Amino acid sequence: MTGTAPGDLLLTNGDRPFLPGDRTFPKHANRLESDGKTVTTFIVYDRCEVPTIGSTLIGANFCPKTDVVITSSTDGVNWSPITSVTTSRAQQFFGTVATDASRETVNIAYYSTQNDPLQQHLQLFLAQVAPGSTAVGVPHLLTSTFADAQAQSPILVSFDESFGDHLGLAAAGTGTAGQSHAYVSFTWNSVQGTYVGTTNPDLNNHLTRLDY
């Protein structure tokens, strides 16, 4: 990460923060290899691709371009070069990882604004690392609609509503192709709600899955 510690990163799109005060932290998953004894550990985390911009007003740093990166190791000492999960434009963040032990497929979920020309509205993606490989495959788009990370309820509550600071991810199957599922829990506001007669995106918890 350039210019800031992970705990001080403030995710932004351009010059506006997605989620003020959210924390970034690494996640890991293990995969048992075909020899039955070698274990590969994958670490996924959010990174600032460019120098951050400091802000004394909020006491944190803005990151103009975030991405989700991955590295792996079979001994915990020697790690592969850090690479991006996707080469897509715009912002990628809240990366998380889970292994489907039935097929030893590594799943990586994250938010991305790559399909929005203004980089304001996000979608949910899931990428996979095939058994025996450490390369990330072509990501799957899980949400056809967009969510607006800037929109909040016009009603003031005792806490600041936001998209949280992480995605939930679990993967499992029977070992047979087509019977594995990767479940992603996430915050979404593509549906309009009504607040004292005012229409505004309604922030809710959602769950989706990829079958493979």
- How many C-beta neighbours within 10 Å does residue 105 have? 21
At residue 158, the pLDDT reads 46
Asked if residues 181 and 174 have their Cβ atoms less than 8 Å apart, the reply is no
Q: Domain residues of the chain, as ranges?
A: 6-211
Q: Report the predicted TM-score, pTM, of the whole model to 2 decimal places.
A: 0.85
The two beta strands, 181-188 and 204-211, are antiparallel
Asked if residues 69 and 81 have their Cβ atoms less than 8 Å apart, the reply is no
Q: How far apart are CA 39 and CA 75, in angstroms?
A: 8
Asked if residues 140 and 127 have their Cβ atoms less than 8 Å apart, the reply is yes
The pLDDT profile of the chain, 212 residues, written as one tens digit per residue, is 333 333 334 444 444 444 444 456 899 999 999 999 999 999 999 988 888 777 656 556 677 888 999 999 999 999 999 999 999 989 999 999 999 999 999 999 999 999 999 888 999 999 999 999 999 999 999 999 999 887 766 655 545 567 877 899 999 999 999 999 999 999 998 888 887 788 878 888 999 999 99
At residue 55, the pLDDT reads 64
